[in-house]
């Protein structure tokens, strides 16, 4: 039905639906998923962000999960379309540009893809393998003495450098950010490959936290479950069962599940602060202090793998007050690294130093997760060396 114009008045404006509405919705969803977590965003909020009503979103997507799948595909499709290149330096420059441009959606690559089901997770991993090969082939041409496994290990470290920009909010100019990522990527590719050593077949034994009091047992079991299944997939009943008590008894120690998560974050912050203090005590000079800081962070990551993983992955699920407070604590920890790095490299702007520090820390956590935090792979020793190389790039 057409709306007739009233004589003497201008014809009513006919609003046309944008042809790229589906892509707009996917981009808005991706940014919100990365900012607040997949489970912390509703379809109505995504619809509002692009200026449509909640019901109108169903013309494009049947549910929120379909949006996550489409957004993840859009991310990988864009990256793969832009990286059909053969020159390694051109590839690194392109990836640096994409990392800066797509900073707000990089969390899909870092964490949010874990909410995909098995079929779509395999699809995502398949696209990632294509990207790894695209970088690995010219790298092997440049360094023919390496094996394919060596090249893959280095490429994964480089992808972690690019992905690191989405793990923090440190402000940096676009050009400087691209240049820093490009420089760090080359520093990684010139290093000895962090190739994991083979380990005996079978299940890798999960590290247990030493616990005593009932509250500590609950916290330890919650951390393990959050690490294994994700915060939203775990209920208070399951935490209580793992600790050997019923669900109602859990509330004697923690008002709710979110308080257990907050306690895990405060515990992780304490461990990081303790490790940093120990590393800096007795350091001979700034260079030695930086090496000791890198070693302590790698040790903490492997020794407290479940705690560190929860600390990195579940930030968006914290209560607002705790999230703001813990972000301050996290920034203070990074600033310890930044002050030390700037003293060693006075030519490095502080804003750029923050980006470099976050890249080094992200490579440690990403590659340790890749080998399932198993020291038998030798990855812990590789990571100390790689972190230093990135900090010096």
- The pLDDT of residue 208: 42
- The pLDDT of residue 251: 92
Show Cβ contacts of residue 372 under 8 Å, excluding neighbours closer than 6 positions.
204
- The pLDDT of residue 329: 87
Q: Are the beta carbons of 389 and 187 closer than 8 angstroms?
A: yes
Region label for 195, one of left (φ > 0), alpha (ψ between -120 and 50) or beta (otherwise):
beta
- The pLDDT of residue 124: 94
Give the dihedral sign, CA 322/328/334/337: negative
Q: In terms of C-beta density within 10 A (0-12 exposed, 13-18 middle, 19 or more buried), how is residue 373 classed?
A: buried
Query: CA 42 to CA 261: how far, in whole Å?
Result: 22
pLDDT by residue for the chain (393 residues), tens only, comes to 444 445 555 554 444 556 689 999 999 999 999 888 888 899 999 999 999 998 999 999 999 999 999 999 999 999 999 999 999 999 999 999 999 999 999 888 877 788 899 999 999 999 999 999 999 999 999 999 999 999 999 999 999 999 999 988 899 999 999 999 999 999 999 999 999 999 876 544 444 444 458 899 999 999 999 988 888 889 999 999 999 999 889 999 999 999 999 999 999 889 888 988 988 888 999 999 999 999 999 999 999 988 888 888 888 888 888 888 888 888 899 999 999 999 999 999 999 999 999 999 999 999 999 999 999 999 999 999 999 999 999
Query: CA 237 to CA 316: how far, in whole Å?
Result: 22
Distances (CA, A) of 296 to 177, 192, 281, 318: 27, 21, 12, 26
- Residue 241's H or E segment, with its range, is helix 236-243
Query: CA 262 to CA 183: how far, in whole Å?
Result: 36
- The pLDDT of residue 1: 40
């Amino acid at each position: 039905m057409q709306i007739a114009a009233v004589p003497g008045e201008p014809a009513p404006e006919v609003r046309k639906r944008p042809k790229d509405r589906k892509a707009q919705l996917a981009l808005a969803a991706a940014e919100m998923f990365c900012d607040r977590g997949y489970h912390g965003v509703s379809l109505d909020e995504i619809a509002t962000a692009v200026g449509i009503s909640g019901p109108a979103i169903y013309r494009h997507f049947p549910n929120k999960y379909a949006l996550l799948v489409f957004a993840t595909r859009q991310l990988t499709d864009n990256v793969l379309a832009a990286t059909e290149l053969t020159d390694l330096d051109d590839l690194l420059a392109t990836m640096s540009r994409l990392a800066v441009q797509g900073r707000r959606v990089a969390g899909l690559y870092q964490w949010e893809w874990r909410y995909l089901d098995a079929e779509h997770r395999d699809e995502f991993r398949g696209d990632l393998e294509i990207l790894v090969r695209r970088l690995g082939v010219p790298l092997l041409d440049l360094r023919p003495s390496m094996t394919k496994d060596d090249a893959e290990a280095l490429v994964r470290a480089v992808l972690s450098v690019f992905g690191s920009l989405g793990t923090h909010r440190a402000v940096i100019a676009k050009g400087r950010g691209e240049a820093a990522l490009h420089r760090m990527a080359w520093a990684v590719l010139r290093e000895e490959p962090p190739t994991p050593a083979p380990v005996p077949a079978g299940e890798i034994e999960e590290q247990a936290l030493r616990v005593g009091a009932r509250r500590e047992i609950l916290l330890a079991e919650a951390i393990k479950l959050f690490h294994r299944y994700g915060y939203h997939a775990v209920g208070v009943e399951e935490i209580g069962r793992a600790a050997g008590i019923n669900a109602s008894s859990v509330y004697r120690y923690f008002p709710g599940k979110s308080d257990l998560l907050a306690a895990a974050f405060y515990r992780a912050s304490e461990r990081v602060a303790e490790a940093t203090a120990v590393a800096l005590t007795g350091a001979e000079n700034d260079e030695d202090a930086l090496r000791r800081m890198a070693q302590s962070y790698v040790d903490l990551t492997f020794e407290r793998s479940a705690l560190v993983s929860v600390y990195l992955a579940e930030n968006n699920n914290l209560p607002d007050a705790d999230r703001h407070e813990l972000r301050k604590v996290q920034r203070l920890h990074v600033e310890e690294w930044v002050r030390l790095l700037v003293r060693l490299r006075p030519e490095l702007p502080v804003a750029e130093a923050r980006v470099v520090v976050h890249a080094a820390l992200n490579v440690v956590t990403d590659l340790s997760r890749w080998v399932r935090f198993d020291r038998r792979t030798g990855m812990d020793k590789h990571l100390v060396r790689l972190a230093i190389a990135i900090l010096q790039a």
